[in-house]
């Protein structure tokens, strides 16, 4: 039995941390093997050495309980958690069998408390992981709705301009060739249908945004000066002259700076300087916000739902966004196409 237990301990430890082995399978296998060894105890007889291996074996079993409760998928989490937990609760039978039933029951019940605590911690962390995934998904959804609303406004403006041009062409003095007049009429009708469809779409988007209590209608690069003015700590703004950005990119730049400054106020209260730089890099625009707050708190690393949504928005536009610590603080950097794809 000692040889089997000795093999079980490293096997359980490896199974618990091996990334290629499913957590549910590792926990179920480790618990089943441990239970089998415990069940074989009456045949093997009581041995003093069993106590040492039992204590060592309990640690990886508790690790398996924690990992299974947190990461095992779906309904299999309960079974994968129960097997190693039951193995921990019954492992004392190896040194108490045969004995007084009430003594064995009480000892096993007491010994199950660490397994219950590990399972509780695992399920609590599982709930936090789920809450974070839902928050990130909601932030991405909000950014997609905002981007869709912005695109509606931009496309509606351009389609409206084309519609006006077509209507003006039909009013030009003098007779028009029949084919040209018919083409202008079809263009005008198609433009009116497109505008009506866009209006219906944006109305639904506005209803969703109002229902969620969010308003993502923000200005673009032209609003950065008023945004950073009066910000505490003092923020230095640098915008490259002659930037010719699409409306989608300009609005995204404003949103990135807004989110970065909000995070500075929340997580870097000790910062004394903030720098906001919007520069041109070839066919892209680069916006970078840095502070000297010594690196944001652990809470900011676990959070960042707004940045997750902005990263989604940047990817939809064909760019990228990243955030992380610098030598003396934190940075948020986005690279976006000057002309939206």
For position 14, what pLDDT does the model report?
A: 40
Residue spans of alpha helices (H) in the chain: 2-17, 23-39, 41-44, 49-71, 76-90, 93-96, 101-111, 113-170, 178-212, 224-228, 247-267, 298-302, 305-316
Q: Which residue has the tokens 């091996």?
A: 18
Two tokens, residue 319: 């760019």
Q: Is beta strand 274-281 parallel, antiparallel or unpaired with respect to 284-291? A: antiparallel
Phi, psi of 11, rounded to the nearest 5 degrees: -65, -40
For position 12, what pLDDT does the model report?
A: 42
* Per-residue tens of pLDDT for the chain, all 341 residues: 443 444 444 434 444 444 567 888 888 788 888 878 777 776 666 565 666 677 778 888 888 888 888 888 877 778 888 888 888 888 877 777 776 778 778 877 888 888 888 888 888 888 888 888 888 777 777 777 776 666 666 676 677 677 777 777 777 777 778 888 888 888 878 877 777 776 666 666 655 555 444 444 567 888 898 888 877 778 899 999 888 888 888 888 988 998 888 888 777 778 888 999 999 998 899 999 999 887 655 444 444 557 777 888 888 888 999 998 888 889 999 999 987 54
50 in Cβ contact with 10 (< 8 Å) = no
The residues that bridge with 291 in the sheet, in sequence order, are: 274, 330
DSSP code for 171: T
For position 123, what pLDDT does the model report?
A: 87
Instruction: With 0.75 as the threshold, say if the pTM is over it.
Output: no
Q: Does the fold of domain 221-337 match that of domain 138-212? A: no
The residues that bridge with 145 in the sheet, in sequence order, are: none
For position 308, what pLDDT does the model report?
A: 77
What's the distance, CA 316 to chain centroid? 16
CATH topology of domain 221-337: Heat Shock Protein 90 (3.30.565)
Rounded to whole angstroms, how far apart are CA atoms 247 and 216? 14
CATH number of 138-212: 1.10.287
CA quadruple 207, 208, 209, 211: dihedral sign: positive
Q: Domains of the chain: which residue ranges?
A: 2-111, 138-212, 221-337
Residue 291 host element (H or E): strand 284-291
Rounded to whole angstroms, how far apart are CA atoms 79 and 23? 12
DSSP code for 322: E
């Amino acid at each position: 039995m000692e040889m089997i237990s000795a093999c079980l301990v490293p096997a359980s430890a490896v199974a618990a941390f091996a990334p290629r082995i499913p957590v549910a399978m590792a926990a179920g296998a480790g618990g089943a093997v441990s239970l089998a060894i415990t069940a074989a105890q009456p045949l093997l007889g009581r041995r003093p050495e069993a106590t040492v291996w039992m204590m060592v074996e309990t640690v990886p079993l508790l690790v398996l309980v924690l990992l299974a409760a947190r990461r095992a998928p779906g309904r299999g989490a309960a079974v994968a958690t129960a097997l190693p937990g039951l193995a921990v609760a019954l492992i004392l039978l190896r040194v108490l069998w045969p004995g007084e039933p009430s003594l064995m029951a009480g000892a096993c019940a007491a010994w199950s408390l660490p397994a219950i605590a590990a399972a509780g911690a695992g399920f609590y962390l599982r709930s936090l992981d789920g809450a974070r995934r839902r928050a990130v998904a909601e932030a991405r959804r909000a950014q997609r709705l905002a981007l869709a609303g912005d695109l509606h406004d931009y496309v509606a403006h351009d389609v409206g301009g084309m519609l006006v041009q077509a209507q003006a062409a039909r009013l030009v003095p003098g007779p028009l060739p029949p084919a040209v007049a018919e083409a202008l009429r079809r263009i005008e009708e198609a433009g009116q249908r497109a505008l009506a469809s866009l209006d219906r779409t944006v109305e639904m988007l506005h209803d969703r945004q109002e229902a969620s209590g969010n308003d993502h209608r923000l200005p673009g690069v032209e609003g950065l000066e008023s945004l950073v003015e009066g910000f505490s700590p003092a923020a230095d703004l640098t915008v490259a002259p002659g930037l010719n950005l699409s409306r989608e990119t300009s609005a995204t730049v404003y949103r990135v700076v807004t989110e970065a400054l909000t995070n500075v106020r929340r997580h870097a209260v000790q910062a004394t300087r903030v720098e906001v730089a919007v520069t041109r890099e070839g066919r892209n625009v680069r916006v970078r916000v840095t502070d000297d707050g010594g690196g944001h708190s652990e809470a900011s690393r676990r959070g960042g739902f707004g940045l997750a949504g902005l990263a989604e928005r940047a990817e939809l536009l064909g760019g990228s966004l990243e955030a992380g610590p610098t030598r003396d603080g934190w940075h948020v950097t986005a690279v976006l196409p000057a002309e939206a794809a």
